[in-house]
Structure 1
């Protein structure tokens, strides 16, 4: 068995450092190269390594052929002809690059062919490695794991060397290939039900030498969202819209985007926001004025540091609970109790949730032994039970940005929605994906679209609220993360529109992980004490310690914790999330 370490071998490839949308400079290969994405050049583009593969050579053995084939896979998008030159006519007629891209770890082992009859012209070769991820046709990137194995049939080529007689469908890339030629990309669509907030969609896009990265981003924005947001978001860019050009103007201080197609004047604000935030999030127009044209004529202009309401998190106040009473947190520590009954101490109330702040006022919900109750945080506010039943049968309440309250009735296996403005009681919401699942937690994100669904004690899934009005339902369920069977998830909290914080009790201790819900990439957060609960809003993270009821805040360095309250501080919470 031999191991492919492709970038250290010059026989099968060359590597080019390229700017998307510019010319290329060839670098002789003597080992791996890295480049800084923030290098000099067109600010609308990003530098990257382009793979240059070569055709199979008559003097190559099996190992060289497999190295060359893998390099040709990485270079396929730029030059499909090289990969096809590795295939026999029969294999060429059957093979297609379509379908998901399989991403494997960089180290790949070549298992040599077993002994065969002298009359058998086919050599059975197997590549072995480990799965790293999958890139679907809608550009969704999903981390995976486990052993990867792929067989190949090789035959002697008439001119010498080997050709591949059978090649499984689709491309196989190494993690290094993806790091080199793809970029994590953030796109923004509109919340379908309210259309008052942008919703993040996370994809992996391949950089191209034929266009700037800014154009690659906007061309993808013209397409439907990924499957996780299907029917949950909409767009202000109507079908038929085209990107005619994107260029820098006025010494690089301005970006000019020229569109054509059936643009709607009534959606001008939303279109400006979608384009601005999609470009800014990917560092190709940040801090610059974006001029949007329609057929070369001025259409709208996005100025830096404007339109912030499109990413509104619905309130910045931090709260915590002490003996059943809701307190607000000041900049330096305790700030006092909230107004009304919600600020009074009482037993039997738990799992508090705060609604979107409206004119400085909010509603708070809590689970009790007899159901779920709601109170306004105003002087005359009183607790009112709005969902009746045994409290343990319901998941902790969660608020939607439209003002409705949600919970899952575990006893009757039904998702419930209560609208305080309707005058009616809680009503069922269609949620076919949850049938037969042991739903233990449910939290709606501040974008009003994504929903965290925890099943059992150690699995987190992501869903989305699709449709509008009476037709709204919970759909598009997909797995996000699962812990070891012996572990237990203690708490889950939305941070910003892209990230979940997951607190786990493992055999090794407590673990806090921040997970990007778009691509599953995770980052560990160091802990200095065992935690009981967490709450987050953007970059701000609060946590209650497991002992001593101390309230901590995570520093901006994401490494250190500072005590905000030393004792008698219960579960922290922010509006929504």
Structure 2
């Protein structure tokens, strides 16, 4: 497995160890190699300011294009220097949330392909890794880049860009190094349909200067989820809620002052979203919530809230009580289901149920599921001890097989039935029978693995694309009639290749 830094989608990372890895998947992040996954997000990494170079009078068309691309990586003063390279393009204004085409490397060889008097056309080529939309969503889409710039001489005889690729709607062409220097991968937090569990929505956020990052982060949260999660999550902030002014920080205490619209929201739930979002910034240890300048206090808390409060809303679920017994279930050397005792696997289930292939224990520890030896049947058994009799719940169509079972935290069981260029998602809610998902976004793909995150909203898969396995991340939306829409699958990274299996380590880390 290759390990780089920029990831897709959503965006993630990889710890390469003996052919395996971990992908940090907030939905916008990077691949990391050989270091703890907690370091994948670099919100607090030092901000390196780029000093852009103004165009020089003697530069020709190709040099002007090179200078423009380099200056575009500076977000200072609204891309003031980059605009000096333009002639008659007053509407080009990428802003702080631009559309970005991410390139593998700097374009080093722009060349003039047409020149006539005071007009010229410059062509650039390169390797495109993906795109970042205006809401911060990254999508891996590796392909060749081929774009042209139109240039003209000014009355003073200076070459300037008169036409951009994509015209007035053009965004930025940045290298992955530009993105990693000028942007930060951050999580915004929104509620799952249960209205209790928070779901991370990772985005790329440009950094003009480090002091403005807290305000940018809260503004992004108030703007709502990216298009990828819209419809699958909800926010506690009433429509139209905005910051009254910048987030103020005094001695590790932040003050977030919202407009009057916030009075219609639930203070506890708004606080949970804000606390989880702001805890990514090391300079904030506690904070106050205000509405129109008046401090509001959640039930049972002080006016100054610890930024690490609201653990009950964790995307990983409620932490077990200190005295709660937690079993670590493993598959022993001879294939039996067991628990770890003194670093050794001890059988807990014996007989036919104890040797199910790819077993998975339900969150309440009362039931487990697995596959038949040939992968063509889904079976369950209970309890998770002794010699329970396995029950066959699903049998695959001819030529098809099932992915390993996956439980979501509410006790729902998920499996994908798949064969070449075709698949079906089967879902069994607690106490019900399996039903096929009404809307399944990978129906035309061979799916090798499927895992639901603990938040119940995100799902990671390995799907075969163009003959090779590809790690993708999708979202689970619940329709008013109770049906499921499991789709919007996007590649996690162009750098995670030849994956054979995956699992959620925690809400932000995918083991691949």
TM-score bracket, shorter-length normalisation: 0.7 to 0.9
Aligned counterpart in structure 1 of residue 380 of structure 2, from 358, 362, 374: 374
Match of 1:349 among 356, 360, 376: 356
Question: In 2, Cα distance between the equivalents of 1:260 and 1:95?
Answer: 31
Q: Is the 2:380–2:390 Cα contact (8 Å) retained in structure 1?
A: yes
- Note if contact 1:59-1:160 (Cα within 8 Å) is conserved in structure 2: no
* Structure 1: distance between partners of 2:469 and 2:423: 19
Question: Residue 110 of structure 1 aligns to a residue in which SS?
Answer: coil
Aligned to 1:218: 218
Partner of 2:181: 180
Question: Which residue is 1:247 aligned to?
Answer: 248
What is the aligned counterpart of 2:120 among 123, 126, 133? 123
Give per-residue Cα distances to partners, 1:236-261, cap 9 Å, x unaligned: 12212122242223xx1422222223
Question: C-alpha separation between the residues in 1 aligned to 2:201 and 2:312?
Answer: 18
Tell me if 1:427 matches 2:435. yes
Q: Report the CA distance shift for 1:304/1:337 in structure 2 as closer, same or farther (over 3 A).
A: farther
* C-alpha separation in 2, matches of 1:96 and 1:272: 34
Question: How far is the alpha carbon of 1:202 from its aligned partner?
Answer: 0.9
The answer to whether the Cα contact below 8 Å between 1:375 and 1:381 also exists between their aligned partners in 2 is: no
2:449 is the counterpart of 1:441: yes
Which residue pairs with 1:535 in the alignment? none
Query: Which residue of 2 is the match for residue 474 of structure 1?
Result: 486
Are positions 1:465 and 2:471 aligned together?
no
Aligned residue pairs: how many?
Answer: 439
Shift of 1:267: 3.0
| Contact 1:57–1:160, Cα closer than 8 Å, also in 2 | no
2:149 to 152, 158, 161: 152
By how many angstroms is 1:78 displaced?
A: 2.3
- Helix, strand or coil for the counterpart of 1:217? helix
Over 3 Å counting, the alpha-carbon distance change for 1:324 and 1:151 in structure 2 is same
Query: What is the CA–CA distance in structure 2 between the aligned matches of 1:455 and 1:242, rounded to whole Å?
Result: 40
Structure 1 distance, partners of 2:394, 2:71, is 63
Greater strand share, 1 or 2? 1
Gaps of 5+ in 2: 1-42, 298-303, 321-325
What is the Cα deviation at residue 304 of structure 1? 4.9
SS of equivalent residue, structure 1 residue 69: helix
The question of whether the paired residues in 2 share the 8 Å contact of 1:76 and 1:83 is answered with no
Summarize the Cα distance change of 1:167–1:450 in structure 2 as closer, same or farther, 3 Å threshold. same
Work out the CA distance in 1 between the residues paired with 2:110 and 2:494: 33
Per the normalisation by structure 1, the TM-score is 0.68
Instruction: Decide which of 298, 308, 311 is 1:308's aligned counterpart.
Output: 311
**Structure 2: how far apart are the matches of 1:233 and 1:329?**
37
Give the superposition deviation at 1:433: 1.4
Equivalent position SS for 2:489? strand
Aligned in 2, Cα 1:241/1:442: closer, same or farther, shift over 3 Å? same
Report the counterpart of residue 385 of structure 1 in structure 2. Answer: 391
Instruction: Quote how far apart the aligned CAs of 1:312 are.
Output: 5.6
For 1:552, the equivalent position in structure 2 comes to: none
Inter-partner Cα distance in structure 1 for 2:91 and 2:308:
53
Structure 2 Cα separation of the partners of residues 325 and 114 of structure 1: 67
Preserved contact between residue 190 and residue 200 of structure 2 (Cα < 8 Å): yes
Please list every run of 5 or more consecutive structure 1 residues that lacks an aligned counterpart in the other structure. 1-43, 503-577
Contact kept, 8 Å, 1:60 with 1:162, in 2: the verdict is yes
CA distance in 2, matches of 1:501, 1:416: 23
Deviation at 1:478, TM superposition (A): 1.5
Per the TM alignment, residue 120 of structure 1 is displaced from its structure 2 partner at its CA by: 4.2
Q: 1:280 to 1:431 in 2, by over 3 A?
A: same
Give the Cα separation in 1 of the matches to 2:275 and 2:404: 36
CA-to-aligned-CA distance 1:318-348 (integer Å, 9 cap, x gap) = 2112345321124x3126333xxx3546576
1:395 corresponds, among 399, 403, 416, to 403
**Does the C-alpha gap of structure 1 residues 387 and 77 become closer, same or farther in structure 2, counting only changes over 3 Å?**
farther
Question: After the TM superposition, which residues 260-299 of structure 1 pair with which residues of structure 2 at under 5 Å, given as runs?
Answer: 260-263=259-262, 267-285=266-284, 288-299=285-296
Structure ranking higher on relative contact order (CA contacts 8 Å, 6+ apart)? 2
CA distance in 2, matches of 1:239, 1:199: 19
TM-score (norm 2): 0.75
